Structure 1
Amino acid sequence: MAFPSLLFFTVLLLSFSYSISTNIEGNALHSLRTRLSDPNNVLQSWDPTLVSPCTWFHVTCDSNDHVVRLDLGNSNISGSLGSELGELKQLQYLELYHNNIGGKIPKELGKLKNLISMDLYGNKFEGNIPKSFAKLKSLRFLRLNDNKLTGSIPRELTTLSNLKVFDVSNNDLCGTIPVDGPFGSFSMESFEHNRLNGPELKGLVPYDFGC
């Protein structure tokens, strides 16, 4: 007779774990909402009283109700991002392009190990490109163009072997352009309209030359 009790306990535990994980993701997205100004009410459906954020507009979940995609491109939102986005552990697509989001890009985005695409272009982000992005080993698309980013391009990003598209044009970056890893295949258009000094010449000048 112990088997039904064990089965009930297992189902209860799984249900509890599911509730905890979806609450964490819902809380993270609600925290993001509090940071953003939303004149067009695109975030109106983001109801923090719901157990799961999977019914919210612009949020896509997988079959296990984990958030895998956040689509807020061209939404006329402004404000800033915070560390809470690092809680979306299963996120694969972060699409925030063509808004008015400013401030620094949170280093906690480096926790999103399943991220395939990060599109932050066409905003007002400033400060450095986080070195923590080097942890995003699944990343294929990283578009940071048309912002106000400064500093050099982190050499740690040359370890992202799956990176196919990298665009930092129209910022205020300095130093030299990496040539290792996938950077050997990116076009110069991906780096134009910065203060960059051209491709890195190893052993001749430091990578942050001119910064």
Structure 2
Amino acid sequence: MVPLILTLLFFFLLSSSPAISTNYEGNALHALRTRLSDPTNVLQSWDPTLVNPCTWFHVSCDSQNHVIRLDLGNSNVTGQLGPEIGELQHLQYLELYRNNFEGKIPEELGNLKNLVSMDLYDNSFEGGIPKSFAKLKSLRFLRLNNNKLTGSIPRELASLSSLKVFDVSNNDICGTIPIDGPFSSFPLQSFDNNSRLNGPELQGLVPYDFGC
């Protein structure tokens, strides 16, 4: 009799609790929402009870209902990114600029192998640029300017042959600027206002991270 009562109680609690989407992308975005302060309610449409997040504001999907764009630019949100954002495997555009995101940039962003554009500028991100970004072979635009980033520019990023725009100006980056791969064509303005950054590497010499 007792096991039957416990079973019935379990199903009652399950039916009375808010349902969470079985869609892994919806779950990942809902986990992101729980980390954020949203004073102007731009995320109020993010309803985890729906089958998928394709009807949510600031989220775009392809014809297979996969999330391909997350646009929270200039949305007045505050908080940290968590590792769950790396589960958005089909994401092509990540627009988080002009908010107050803080903390470290998750290494898991390197799992977003379809990413074409990542705009994290004008926030309060700290710590280093993840080396895992070197796995983003489709990446064309990477804007990290106007944050509080430290450490050196990972040399692994020189393997990103599709990268056309790279901006780390107005941070606290140190060391030297790579010269290989796409870095040979980036203007010096992309690196402005990093007081501990010591200019391009010299051809043929081992990079040395001055002050890092």
TM-score, normalisation: structure 1: 0.88
Deviations along 1:89-141, one digit per CA (max 9) or x if unpaired, are 00000000000000000000000000000000000000000000000000000
Unaligned residue ranges in structure 1 (runs of 5+) = 1-20
Give 2:142's aligned residue: 142
Give 1:25's aligned residue: 25
Give 2:36's aligned residue: 36
Give 1:155's aligned residue: 155
Q: Distance in 2 between matches of 1:22 and 1:170?
A: 41
Q: Distance in 1 between matches of 2:210 and 2:116?
A: 31
Matched, 1:197 2:198: yes
Unaligned residue ranges in structure 2 (runs of 5+) = 1-20
Amino acid at match of 2:108: E
Runs of 4+ in 1 over 2 A off after TM superposition: 202-207
Counterpart secondary structure, 2:97: coil
Q: Distance in 1 between matches of 2:40 and 2:100?
A: 13
Deviations along 1:39-91, one digit per CA (max 9) or x if unpaired, are 00000000011111000000000000000000000000000000001000000
Query: Equivalent residues in 2 for 1:78-117 (5 A)?
Result: 78-117=78-117
Q: Distance in 2 between matches of 1:81 and 1:145?
A: 17
Q: How many residues align?
A: 191
Q: Which moved more, 1:193-202 or 1:111-120?
A: 193-202
Give 1:11's aligned residue: none
Q: Is the 8 A contact 1:105 1:129 kept in 2?
A: yes
Amino acid at match of 2:55: T
Q: Is the 8 A contact 1:176 1:207 kept in 2?
A: yes
- Cα distance, 1:170 vs. partner? 0.1
- Cα distance, 1:202 vs. partner? 4.0
Counterpart secondary structure, 2:48: coil
TM-score, normalisation: structure 2: 0.88
Give 1:7's aligned residue: none
Q: Once superposed, what is the RMSD of the aligned Cα atoms?
A: 1.2
Q: Is the 8 A contact 1:22 1:66 kept in 2?
A: no
Matched, 1:133 2:133: yes
